[in-house]
Amino acid sequence: MDKQKLNEQNYEKASKTYQPKPPYVLNVIKAFIIGGLICVLGELITEMYVHWFDYSEKDAGNPTVATLILLSALATGFGVYDKLGQFAGAGSAVPVTGFANSITSAALEHKSEGLVLGVATNLFKLAGSVIVFGVVAAYVLGILRYLWSLIF
C-alpha cells in the first residue's frame, strides 16, 4: 500500500517535468490584445448607444453588455468564439463575452440529450459558479456594508 502511494507521488513528480511549459509571455500578449480589443468593441457599442439612442454614459452599460452577449452567443453558434478562445486564453474568457460563451457552448454540447434535460439543464453548467460566487460575495459584503453604515 505504501509502495503504491510512493509510486503515485513519483509519477506526479516525474510527469511534471515532461509537461510542456506554457509560453508565458506570448500568452500574456495574446490575452492583452484580444481582451483589450473586446473592451474597445464594448466602448464602441457604448458610444453608439450614447450618441444614437440618448442613453447616459452610465445607463448605456446594460444594453452594451446585452449586445456583447448576443454577439458572443452567435459567434459561439458559428464555432468562431471557441477558436478565438484557443488563441486568446483569458483574453476571451474574462470579458462578459466569455460568460455568454460558456452558457451557449454548454447548452450546445448537450443538445443531443433534448431541450429540457440537455439544453435547459446544462445552460448554467459552467456559468453557474460565477453567479453563485458573485451573489454569495455580494450578499455578505452588502450586509457588512449595511451594518457599517448603521454604526458610523
Partner 1 sequence: MNFLWAFVVGGGICVIGQLLLDLAKLTPAHVMSSFVVAGAVLDAFDLYDNLIEFAGAGATVPITSFGHSLLHGAMEQADEHGIIGIAIGIFELTSAGIASAILFGFIVAVIFKPKG
Closest by CA to 85, choosing from 67, 100, 66, is: 100
Exposed (0-12), middle (13-18) or buried (19+): which is 93, by Cβ within 10 Å? Answer: middle
Q: Which is nearer to partner 1, 6 or 131 (CB)?
A: 131
Cα–Cα distances (Å) from 144 to 21, 98, 147, 149, 150, in that order, read 42, 30, 5, 9, 10
Contact 45, 68 (CB under 8 A): yes
**Segment 63-82, which members bind partner 1 (CB under 8 A)?**
63-66, 68-70, 73-74, 76-79, 82
In the list 48, 55, 96, 121, the residue contacting partner 1 (rule: CB under 8 A) is 96
Told to check if 117 binds partner 1 by CB under 8 A, we report no
Cβ–Cβ < 8 Å for 35, 92? yes
Closer of 3 and 78 to partner 1 (Cβ): 78
Q: Name residues contacting partner 1, limited to 16-35 (CB under 8 A).
A: 22, 24, 27-28, 30-35
User: Which of 11, 32 has the CB closer to partner 1?
Assistant: 32
Instruction: Compare residues 6 and 29 and give the one whose CB is closer to partner 1.
Output: 29
* Binding of partner 1 by 47 (CB under 8 A): yes
